[in-house]
Protein backbone atom coordinates (compact mmCIF):
# COMPACT_ATOMS: atom_id res chain seq x y z
CA UNK A 1 0.00 0.00 0.00
CA UNK A 2 2.84 2.34 0.89
CA UNK A 3 4.55 1.53 -2.40
CA UNK A 4 1.36 2.34 -4.30
CA UNK A 5 1.13 5.69 -2.49
CA UNK A 6 4.74 6.50 -3.37
CA UNK A 7 4.14 5.57 -7.02
CA UNK A 8 0.98 7.69 -7.10
CA UNK A 9 2.82 10.67 -5.57
CA UNK A 10 5.67 10.32 -8.09
CA UNK A 11 3.23 9.97 -11.00
CA UNK A 12 1.26 13.03 -9.92
CA UNK A 13 4.37 15.18 -9.77
CA UNK A 14 5.54 13.90 -13.18
CA UNK A 15 2.37 14.28 -15.19
CA UNK A 16 0.79 17.72 -14.78
CA UNK A 17 -1.95 18.27 -17.37
CA UNK A 18 -2.95 21.90 -17.75
CA UNK A 19 -6.18 23.62 -18.51
CA UNK A 20 -5.70 27.21 -19.56
CA UNK A 21 -8.40 29.70 -18.66
CA UNK A 22 -8.45 33.33 -19.76
CA UNK A 23 -10.38 35.60 -17.39
CA UNK A 24 -10.12 38.82 -19.38
CA UNK A 25 -6.39 38.74 -20.01
CA UNK A 26 -4.74 40.95 -22.65
CA UNK A 27 -3.40 37.77 -24.33
CA UNK A 28 0.19 38.50 -23.30
CA UNK A 29 0.37 35.73 -20.70
CA UNK A 30 -1.57 33.36 -22.95
CA UNK A 31 1.12 33.73 -25.61
CA UNK A 32 3.80 33.03 -22.98
CA UNK A 33 2.00 29.83 -21.93
CA UNK A 34 2.08 28.66 -25.54
CA UNK A 35 5.74 29.74 -25.74
CA UNK A 36 6.57 27.52 -22.75
CA UNK A 37 5.37 24.52 -24.80
CA UNK A 38 7.31 25.57 -27.89
CA UNK A 39 10.62 23.95 -28.99
CA UNK A 40 12.73 26.54 -27.15
CA UNK A 41 11.35 25.80 -23.67
CA UNK A 42 9.58 22.44 -24.24
CA UNK A 43 7.56 21.92 -21.05
CA UNK A 44 6.58 18.45 -22.30
CA UNK A 45 9.90 17.22 -20.88
CA UNK A 46 8.21 17.51 -17.48
CA UNK A 47 5.16 15.62 -18.75
CA UNK A 48 3.12 18.81 -19.22
CA UNK A 49 0.22 18.52 -21.61
CA UNK A 50 -2.21 21.30 -22.50
CA UNK A 51 -5.66 19.71 -22.38
CA UNK A 52 -8.82 20.94 -24.07
CA UNK A 53 -11.21 19.84 -21.34
CA UNK A 54 -11.11 20.86 -17.65
CA UNK A 55 -12.21 17.30 -16.78
CA UNK A 56 -8.82 15.98 -17.96
CA UNK A 57 -6.72 18.59 -16.19
CA UNK A 58 -4.79 18.57 -12.90
CA UNK A 59 -3.65 22.18 -12.90
CA UNK A 60 -5.83 25.15 -13.75
CA UNK A 61 -3.76 28.00 -15.24
CA UNK A 62 -5.63 31.29 -14.96
CA UNK A 63 -4.57 34.49 -16.71
CA UNK A 64 -6.24 37.91 -16.56
CA UNK A 65 -7.61 40.21 -13.84
CA UNK A 66 -11.01 38.39 -13.47
CA UNK A 67 -13.77 40.48 -15.03
CA UNK A 68 -17.37 40.36 -13.78
CA UNK A 69 -18.29 38.11 -16.71
CA UNK A 70 -15.44 35.70 -16.03
CA UNK A 71 -15.94 35.31 -12.26
CA UNK A 72 -18.84 32.85 -12.47
CA UNK A 73 -17.13 30.95 -15.30
CA UNK A 74 -13.97 30.56 -13.20
CA UNK A 75 -15.91 29.05 -10.31
CA UNK A 76 -17.70 26.66 -12.72
CA UNK A 77 -14.49 25.55 -14.40
CA UNK A 78 -12.74 25.13 -11.03
CA UNK A 79 -15.59 22.84 -10.03
CA UNK A 80 -15.27 20.88 -13.26
CA UNK A 81 -11.58 20.05 -12.69
CA UNK A 82 -11.50 16.70 -10.89
CA UNK A 83 -9.47 16.40 -7.71
CA UNK A 84 -6.65 16.39 -6.73
CA UNK A 85 -6.18 19.74 -8.40
CA UNK A 86 -4.07 22.88 -8.14
CA UNK A 87 -4.39 26.44 -9.43
CA UNK A 88 -1.59 28.52 -10.93
CA UNK A 89 -2.24 32.26 -11.37
CA UNK A 90 -0.14 33.40 -14.34
CA UNK A 91 0.84 37.06 -14.61
CA UNK A 92 0.42 40.02 -12.30
CA UNK A 93 -3.26 40.47 -13.18
CA UNK A 94 -4.77 37.51 -11.32
CA UNK A 95 -2.50 38.25 -8.34
CA UNK A 96 -3.23 41.96 -7.86
CA UNK A 97 -5.38 43.03 -10.87
CA UNK A 98 -2.24 44.97 -11.92
CA UNK A 99 -2.84 48.29 -13.75
CA UNK A 100 -6.58 47.65 -13.86
CA UNK A 101 -6.90 48.01 -10.10
CA UNK A 102 -10.15 49.71 -8.93
CA UNK A 103 -11.75 49.27 -12.34
CA UNK A 104 -15.52 48.95 -12.16
CA UNK A 105 -15.49 46.10 -14.69
CA UNK A 106 -13.35 43.88 -12.46
CA UNK A 107 -14.13 41.45 -9.69
CA UNK A 108 -10.54 40.44 -8.89
CA UNK A 109 -8.08 39.36 -7.70
CA UNK A 110 -8.31 35.65 -8.38
CA UNK A 111 -7.97 34.36 -4.81
CA UNK A 112 -11.24 36.08 -3.95
CA UNK A 113 -12.98 33.32 -5.96
CA UNK A 114 -10.86 30.16 -5.83
CA UNK A 115 -7.86 29.07 -3.72
CA UNK A 116 -4.60 29.73 -5.59
CA UNK A 117 -1.55 27.53 -5.01
CA UNK A 118 1.15 29.27 -7.03
CA UNK A 119 1.43 32.88 -8.19
CA UNK A 120 3.69 33.54 -11.17
CA UNK A 121 3.90 37.35 -11.32
CA UNK A 122 5.21 39.30 -14.30
CA UNK A 123 3.65 41.29 -17.10
CA UNK A 124 3.95 38.88 -18.79
CA UNK A 125 6.10 36.32 -16.86
CA UNK A 126 8.89 34.58 -18.76
CA UNK A 127 8.17 31.05 -20.00
CA UNK A 128 10.89 29.78 -17.59
CA UNK A 129 8.93 31.24 -14.68
CA UNK A 130 5.68 29.68 -15.93
CA UNK A 131 7.35 26.25 -16.22
CA UNK A 132 8.82 26.67 -12.73
CA UNK A 133 5.38 27.61 -11.39
CA UNK A 134 3.74 24.59 -13.01
CA UNK A 135 6.47 22.28 -11.67
CA UNK A 136 5.99 23.77 -8.18
CA UNK A 137 2.22 23.29 -8.46
CA UNK A 138 2.73 19.64 -9.50
CA UNK A 139 4.92 19.08 -6.42
CA UNK A 140 2.33 20.72 -4.15
CA UNK A 141 -0.40 18.62 -5.77
CA UNK A 142 1.52 15.38 -5.26
CA UNK A 143 2.28 16.16 -1.62
CA UNK A 144 -1.22 17.37 -0.79
CA UNK A 145 -3.44 14.86 -2.57
CA UNK A 146 -7.14 15.47 -2.01
CA UNK A 147 -6.69 17.66 1.09
CA UNK A 148 -7.81 21.32 0.83
CA UNK A 149 -5.13 23.88 -0.15
CA UNK A 150 -3.36 25.83 2.60
CA UNK A 151 -1.12 28.70 1.51
CA UNK A 152 0.08 30.07 -1.82
CA UNK A 153 3.62 30.05 -3.16
CA UNK A 154 5.11 33.02 -5.00
CA UNK A 155 7.56 32.50 -7.86
CA UNK A 156 10.07 35.41 -7.64
CA UNK A 157 10.50 37.69 -10.66
CA UNK A 158 13.87 38.16 -12.32
CA UNK A 159 16.85 35.96 -12.98
CA UNK A 160 16.22 33.82 -9.91
CA UNK A 161 13.10 32.54 -11.65
CA UNK A 162 15.30 30.91 -14.28
CA UNK A 163 16.27 27.30 -13.99
CA UNK A 164 19.73 26.71 -12.47
CA UNK A 165 21.92 28.50 -15.02
CA UNK A 166 22.69 27.75 -18.66
CA UNK A 167 19.08 28.07 -19.72
CA UNK A 168 17.77 29.79 -22.81
CA UNK A 169 17.06 32.98 -20.85
CA UNK A 170 20.73 33.61 -19.94
CA UNK A 171 21.94 32.70 -23.42
CA UNK A 172 19.49 35.18 -24.85
CA UNK A 173 20.74 37.98 -22.57
CA UNK A 174 24.35 37.26 -23.48
CA UNK A 175 23.39 37.43 -27.15
CA UNK A 176 21.85 40.86 -26.57
CA UNK A 177 24.93 42.11 -24.71
CA UNK A 178 27.32 40.88 -27.42
Partner 1 sequence: MMNTLITSLARLLIFPGLLFAVPAAWFFLWVERKAVARMQGRIGPPFMQPFFDFIKLLGKSTPPRNGIGGMLMKAWPLIAVSSAAGAVGLLPVLPASGGFQGDLILLLALLELPSMCIIAAGFSSRSIFGEIGSAREAVLSVSYNVVFLLAIVSIAASQHTFSLSALAQLPFSWLRLLGIVAIIVCLPAKLHLNPFSLPNAEQEIYSGPMVEYAGPELAMWELSHGLEWVAATGLVATLIAPAFTLWWVAALVFVAISFAIVLLLSVVASATARLQIDTTVRFYWQCTLIFAVLAVAAALFTRFRA
Q: Name the site residues for partner 1 (rule: CB under 8 A).
A: 7-8, 10-12, 14-15, 17, 39, 42, 44-45, 47, 51-53, 55-56, 58, 80, 82-84, 146
Beta bridge partners of residue 154, listed in sequence order: 119
Q: Of 14 and 75, which CB lies nearer to partner 1 in the complex structure?
A: 14
Report the DSSP pairing between strands 17-22 and 118-120: unpaired
Q: Of 107 and 128, which CB lies nearer to partner 1 in the complex structure?
A: 128
Give the shortest CB-47-to-partner 1 separation in angstroms.
5
Q: How many C-beta atoms surround the C-beta of residue 79 within 10 A?
A: 10
Q: Of 20 and 126, which CB lies nearer to partner 1 in the complex structure?
A: 20
Give the shortest CB-83-to-partner 1 separation in angstroms.
5
CA gap 143, 90 in Å, rounded = 22
Q: Of 3 and 176, which CB lies nearer to partner 1 in the complex structure?
A: 3
| End-to-end C-alpha distance for the chain, whole angstroms | 56
Within 8 A by CB and 6+ apart from 10, the residues are 142
CA gap 163, 173 in Å, rounded = 14
CA gap 31, 37 in Å, rounded = 10
Give the shortest CB-27-to-partner 1 separation in angstroms.
16
Give the shortest CB-165-to-partner 1 separation in angstroms.
18
CA gap 130, 17 in Å, rounded = 14
Q: Of 12 and 136, which CB lies nearer to partner 1 in the complex structure?
A: 12
Give the shortest CB-103-to-partner 1 separation in angstroms.
31
Amino acid sequence: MNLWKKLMCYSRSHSPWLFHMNSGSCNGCDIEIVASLSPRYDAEQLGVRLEGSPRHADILCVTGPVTHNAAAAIRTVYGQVCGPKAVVAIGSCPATTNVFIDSRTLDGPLNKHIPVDVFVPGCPPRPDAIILGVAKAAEILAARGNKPPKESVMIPIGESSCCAGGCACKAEKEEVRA
